[in-house]
Structure 1
Amino acid sequence: MSERLLPMPGADRHLIGGACALLVLLVLAPVVAPALVVDKLTQLGIYVLLAFMWNLLAGYAGLVSVGQQAFVGLGGYAMVRLVEAGVGPFPALVLAPVLVAGVAWLLAWFVLRLKIGEFAIAMWVIAEVFRQVVMFDPLVQGETGTSLIALNAFDPEVRRTVIYLLTLAAATGALVGSYLLLRGRLGAEAQAIRDDEEAAAAVGVSTFRVKRLIFVVAAAGCALAGTLWLASAITFQPRTGFGIQWTVFMLFMVLTGGLGTFAGPLVGAVLLMALQELFGDIGAWYLFGVGALAIGFALFLPGGLVGALSRRQGREPLTMRRLLADTRR
């Protein structure tokens, strides 16, 4: 037996064509849009990147983490340290996630051997440990934090444009990379592990290998989001970099958009951005509302917005379904 992909429906081809046209417009945004709009689009791109990483981890591999802020903060801290060591800020922005991926690879040997609930709690504890350790660094000065003064050497408009284009490239890479990753054998193996890990292992799936790869990719993606956020904010503070709000945002985007769907994280990121624009000024109550809404979706609309749309249309947009074909002669 072998497997091949089903032909792509016409609706999906049109959706991809529209996305490509939108991407061209987004590339031109710094030329035609005001600075405030470019900053908001940068923020949205970071949210898209985070949402796809958490969905890859939890929605497809079944690894529910409430401590992904560990890698967001560690990415920012690694960038600060690289710049202090003499690396340029933009090379450091790209190099830091690679270093964080190495840390995640080492952590995987421990955390991926835990049960689901233990894994979730362990990741939250690890995030707190990282935050406390980073605060002891004299460069960071505890909760005071530090600034990437090296970025001030660049013209503000040039800096804004470069950060925006890097964020757009990262978000686009998350979309395309996730699609290519999940439509192949690794995607099928990850979903088999999510549905029944023991059964997947019984048919020859190397469960630890698959989970470790996805865990490391998700960590590197979160770290990249952390470096992009730091580049746009300039100031690094442990309380913000390792803040639980990052995981709250990831949970919200994936649960409202559609856990385990391809388009769900994108829909959830747009929804989160819209809610921030409308209610972001009310402070802690806003975060409470975001969390409550995410819980409401999990209880009453578990498939999220994309799941609800899929039930009405009878299929999920951009689904990666396979067709088994007998190749014996």
Structure 2
Amino acid sequence: MSLSAALTSRAAAAVDVRRAGRSATVSALMPLAAVVVLAALPFLVYAGVTDTLVNLFVLIALASMWNLLAGFGGLVSVGQQAYIGIGAYSVIAFAGQGVQPYLAILLAALTSVIFAVPTSWLAFRLRGDYFAVGTWVIAEVYRLVVVRVDSLGGASGKGLTGLAGIDQTLRGALTYWVALGLAFASIATCYLLLRGRLGLSLMAVRDEETAAGSAGIDVRRAKYLVYLVAAAGCGAAGGVITVSSLSVNPDAVFSVQWSAYMIFIVVIGGIGFIEGPLLGAVVFFALQQFLADYGSWYLVLLGAIGMAAALWLPGGLWGVMRDRTGLSLFPVGYHVRL
């Protein structure tokens, strides 16, 4: 062996490349412990508490999907409510055909993916701000189409069938567990996707699409896959919303307010971090609970918090926490030690 080869081999042996440090491995057990505790809540608290937490889990799932799109894929969408509405009405349609509503949530996710395939052909022709506006327009088109379908209730919406024979307490617990499972599955899906080569490809595309393409990354494939996954997650969330509220209204489920919620949660929580939507959803949920009775001042305060986070906390609350503590619940990067 030559001297240069020996030095190279010795230098490589002195470098330790790991996914995360020991502290991150220990901290990764915290989300699993939290899921176990949350799963037991229907046996420990009143039904009103679990009914309220369903909304929190839906927000976590939606924000995680938007963060996957924008924070890692660079696709800033203002039209994810299209798939929330498609998922919600899919549950109504499948339940009307005799499918158990909780099972219909899975079919709603699949239906959203089917609709996302032709939608992506249109949306991906646009770039940047045009993509964001175009997704909102597409969502409005879907809403207008649904309003004109009499079998789906038209402009007044439609009630959910298929749950009348289930005890109300059991139904509330089942809805809670399904919503908790959706939030967990959304975070786990983002984590598993981002730990592989797709995660590296997405972050390269987000940072500089042209350079990523010249490096051999299939930019369109990476964006396409992320778009379909986000559609499935939002569709399942729409299904949970329908099962929770027992009815659906086109103006509510196709409202651009859902996208506003996602953006706000991700911005204050930390865009580009898997933990960001989780923390941001908790903060947003708390603000909803304590300030919703203040009317327009509640919206003013949300706007002020959002602008302050965008200006002074570009990494969000989780970015600040990670910089100060080094904590990482879902490590997807690499650490190099000598």
TM-score when scaled to structure 1? 0.93
* 1:81 matched residue in structure 2: 93
C-alpha distance after superposition, 1:69-95 (max 9, x if no partner): 111111101111112223221221210
* 1:143 matched residue in structure 2: 155
Equivalent of residue 202 in structure 1, options 208, 214, 219 = 214
C-alpha distance after superposition, 1:114-143 (max 9, x if no partner): 111111000000111111111111133333
2:232 is equivalent to residue 217 of structure 1: no
Deviates more, 1:48-57 or 1:132-141: 132-141
Quote the RMSD (CA, aligned, Å): 1.9
TM-score when scaled to structure 2? 0.90
Distance in structure 2 (CA, Å) of the matches to 1:42 and 1:207:
36
Distance in structure 1 (CA, Å) of the matches to 2:203 and 2:336:
16
Distance in structure 2 (CA, Å) of the matches to 1:104 and 1:71:
8
Equivalent of residue 108 in structure 1, options 120, 127, 146 = 120
Distance in structure 2 (CA, Å) of the matches to 1:216 and 1:147:
28
2:48 is equivalent to residue 36 of structure 1: yes
Equivalent of residue 161 in structure 1, options 149, 167, 173 = 173
C-alpha distance after superposition, 1:135-192 (max 9, x if no partner): 1111333332111032222111111111111111111111122111101100000000
Distance in structure 1 (CA, Å) of the matches to 2:57 and 2:240:
10
* 2:238 matched residue in structure 1: 226
- Structure 1, unmatched stretches of 5+, are none
User: Offset of 1:284 from its aligned partner?
Assistant: 4.8
* 2:315 matched residue in structure 1: 303
After TM superposition, the structure 1 = structure 2 runs for residues 252-267 of structure 1, keeping only pairs within 5 Å, are: 252-267=264-279
Taking a change above 3 Å as real, the CA distance of residues 81 and 283 of structure 1, as seen in their structure-2 partners, is: farther
Distance in structure 2 (CA, Å) of the matches to 1:231 and 1:315:
36
Greater radius of gyration (CA)? 2
Instruction: Report if the CA contact (8 A) 2:79-2:138 is conserved.
Output: yes
Deviates more, 1:310-319 or 1:245-254: 310-319
User: Offset of 1:323 from its aligned partner?
Assistant: 6.2
Residue identity in the other structure for 1:104: A
Instruction: Report if the CA contact (8 A) 1:97-1:220 is conserved.
Output: yes
Taking a change above 3 Å as real, the CA distance of residues 178 and 316 of structure 1, as seen in their structure-2 partners, is: same
Equivalent of residue 332 in structure 2, options 283, 305, 320 = 320
Distance in structure 2 (CA, Å) of the matches to 1:5 and 1:29:
40
Residue identity in the other structure for 1:34: Y
* 2:202 matched residue in structure 1: 190
Taking a change above 3 Å as real, the CA distance of residues 72 and 115 of structure 1, as seen in their structure-2 partners, is: same
Instruction: Report if the CA contact (8 A) 1:279-1:286 is conserved.
Output: yes
Distance in structure 2 (CA, Å) of the matches to 1:50 and 1:242:
14
